[in-house]
Amino acid sequence: MEERSLSEQPPEASAGKASFLDKLISTGIGSGLSPVAPGTAGSVVGLLFYSIDGFEKFYVILPAIVVFFVWGSYTAGKMEKVYGHDPSRVVIDEIVGIWITLAFLPKRFLLVAMGFLLFRILDIFKPFPASYFDKRNGGMSIMLDDVVCGIYANVALQLYLHILK
């Protein structure tokens, strides 16, 4: 029987390189496997975590952002090696992005809804430098385009809340 090299194997055959936990994290508890709008599904999972009482407190959300940015960079990089450039099933970046969008804001329904919509719009259109990171390979680049969109959305919401309102 002839052996095939790892690079010749179909993506699913080499998926064993990503552990179950890597897949669970990178796919946002499986939300990235949604056949319709996996990025939006991942953002909804981020909102579900955000809805936990106390999650919005800076001493909870900031460590969550840092831990899942680092862990997400690692797992997204592993998944990219298996499934190709910035695979749609990887949504940990959307989860972290929505948390950044909502960080340091009061937990009010209107702000959360505005943040969700604004983040999704920015994530689709990817204003610079998000577009720069989107074209790059690697787990950190997968994460950084959504970090940028989350920062833009957060700044816009802060302006709305403190200046425009």
The 3-state secondary structure of the chain, one letter per residue: CCCCCHHHCCHHHHHHHCCHHHHHHHCCCCHHHCCCCHHHHHHHHHHHHHCCCCCCCHHHHHHHHHHHHHHHHHHHHHHHHHHCCCCCCCCHHHHHHHHHHHCCCCCCHHHHHHHHHHHHHHHHHCCCCHHHHHCCCCHHHHHHHHHHHHHHHHHHHHHHHHHHC
Task: Give the burial string for 51-76 (b: 16+ CB within 10 Å, else e).
Answer: eeeeebeeeebeebbeebbebbbbbb
Q: Considering the entire predicted model, what is its pTM?
A: 0.88
Could you read off the pLDDT tens digit of each residue along the chain, which spans 165 residues?
333 333 444 444 444 478 899 999 999 999 999 999 999 999 999 999 999 999 999 999 999 999 999 999 999 999 999 999 999 999 999 999 999 999 999 999 999 999 999 999 999 999 999 999 999 999 999 999 999 999 999 999 999 999 876
Per-residue model confidence (pLDDT) at position 165: 62
Per-residue model confidence (pLDDT) at position 1: 35
